[in-house]
Amino acid sequence: MTPRPIIIDCDPGHDDALALLLALGSPAELEVLAITTVAGNAPLTLTEKNARKVLALAGRPDVPVHAGCARPLVRAPVIANYGGTTGLDGHELPEPTVPLAEGHAVDAIIELLRARPAGTITLCPLGPLTNVAIAMVKAPEIVPRIREIVLMGGAIGLGNATPAAEFNIFVDPHAADVVFRAGVPIVMCGLDLTRQALVTPTRLAAIRALGTPVAAAVAGLLEFYNLDGQTERERAGAPLHDPCVIAYLLRPELFRGRDCHVAVEIQGDLTLGRTVVDWQGRGHVDRGAEPANAKVLSELDADGFFTLLTERLAHLPL
């Protein structure tokens, strides 16, 4: 089987780091062409460094990391700051072994899509969609060359940045609007799905029991990341949002969803960044339903997801 070529656009971030490790631990299925970074979970200066730290941990200095946009298209910057002072607190990761790759993330996305055969590259955005949207606007000829966009973002129901909006879409709703209107096949891993991927004590213990340096690092990161989920929100553990994107590419049978029309609210005060998912195909009373533009995932086999994640972490470093 020829590995599927992907570009991971991210803002590491604990769950981004796990998504990167899952992809890097699956070389038979996924060819990571590049990692592009954006501000979101942390400022850009930290997200690009954190991506390179994860590559050092995984023993993959061959994958280029391109720094991208430090702020959204229109609105003021929003930084989560959930990850501690480094954006990846919880374990001291190795320092990067390679410098940033030359060239802006937007240009790297454009150049890779131009260089590879049309319809082969999948984009995997795990953070705000600024880099992807600017690439589409700057070089519209790349849009039909994209095989698929599998993204973490949005929600059918409740948000996490506001009552209405999920964080990644809230940070740059105008970029998300560009992407969802582009006509590219989209798979949306929103909060309704990702909140099912909880890092319970049993699942964390299984990762720690691998006994490898990567497993020890992941366990430390997840202990820090999980603290907020367990103590402040009365959940069994914190949700691993971003790895759902990579797990879907590897094991789509673990997921269920349906094709829907998704619109992004870019004007509302209370609802800015809301993904309006027409789950029932209802549309507007005055103009009917609009065509589906995304496959919205809603159900996850969480045990199967964590079995896959643990298995692939055991392969690292390669």
Are 265 and 271 a contacting pair, CB within 8 Å? Answer: yes
DSSP structure string for 48-94: HHHHHHHHHHHT-TTS-EEE--SS-SSSPP-----S-SSSSTTS-PP
Question: Do the beta carbons of residue 31 and residue 6 sit within 8 Å?
Answer: yes
Structure tokens that stand for 76 in this block:
């003021």
What pairing do the DSSP bridges indicate for beta strands 186-189 and 294-300? parallel
Find the catalytic residue in 241, 261, 284, 315.
241
Residue 9's beta-bridge partner residues?
Answer: 36, 125
Q: What's at 295, amino acid-wise?
A: K
CA proximity to 292, closest of 185, 194, 152, 191: 185
Task: Count Cβ neighbours within 10 Å for each residue of 39-68 and write b for 16 or more, e otherwise.
Answer: bbbbbbebbbbbbbbbbbbbebeebbbbbb
Please work out, in degrees rounded to the nearest 5, the angle formed at the alpha carbon of residue 250 by the alpha carbons of 106 and 185. 50
| CA distances for 30 relative to 34, 233, 246, angstroms | 12, 35, 9
Active site residue 241: yes
> Cα–Cα distance between 314 and 215 in angstroms, integer?
7
Tokens coding 251: 């094991």
Q: Report yes or no: 38 and 79 within 8 Å, Cβ to Cβ.
A: no
Which distant-in-sequence residues (6+ apart) come within 8 Å of 294 by Cβ?
180, 186, 187, 188, 259, 260, 261, 262
Q: For the stretch 195-227, what's the b/e string if a residue is b when 16 or more beta carbons lie within 10 angstroms of its beta carbon?
A: bbbbbbeebbebbbebeeebbebbbbbbebbbe
Known catalytic residues are: 241
